[in-house]
Amino acid sequence: MKKLVLLICLLASVVSAQAQFEKGKWVVNPSLTGAGLSYDTGLDKASFGLDVNGGAFVADNLALLIRGGLGWNENGGDTDVYYLGVGGRYYFSQVGIYLGANVNVDRLDWGNHSDTKFSFGMEAGYAFFLSKTVTLEPAVYWNINGDRSKIGLKLGFGLYF
């Protein structure tokens, strides 16, 4: 009996998740990036940041996103990064596993100097549904902008409308 109840619960969660990745739905995804776990090869310091994605599903399982964010280095490091970009996510098998890619314009500020560069990023994660429209989304990300490469973990919330 317990196995049957568990199977019914799992099927219900998959069906409710499936409806959230349909064409015409919207997603907003604020995240904490780094959290001391990312590493920037250009600065040899860990970093912490905030990241926000928002967009719409243009096809079942495929979302196009506009993104923005900012990042700081540990111990009040001397380089801050601000970025705006576009990207997309593809959700596999209707259960929340996704792969994403993005292109950004990064603004790096340190002391009296600044620089603007293009960057490319990728991420892989899982949208774990806490309710019908709210998810907890852990992910691994990678970002490169010519002279710097950053790999890290992020944790976010997704709101699906």
Give the residue, 158 or 45, on which the prediction is more confident: 158
CA 32, CA 155: separation in Å to the nearest integer?
A: 5
Residue 120 is which amino acid?
Answer: F
Please give the pLDDT value at position 9. 47
Domains and CATH numbers, the chain: 2-160 (2.40.160.20)
Closest CA to 49 of 29, 67, 71: 71
Please give the mean pLDDT across all residues of the chain: 81
pLDDT of residue 90: 96
Specify the pLDDT at position 14. 46
Per-residue pLDDT of 53-111, as tens digits, reads 999 999 999 999 999 998 876 555 566 788 999 999 999 977 789 999 999 998 877 77
Give the separation between CA 134 and CA 111, rounded to whole angstroms.
Answer: 40
**23-37, 68-82, 99-113, 142-156: segment of lowest average pLDDT:** 68-82
Confidence (pTM) = 0.78
> How many angstroms separate the CA atoms of 49 and 34, rounded?
6
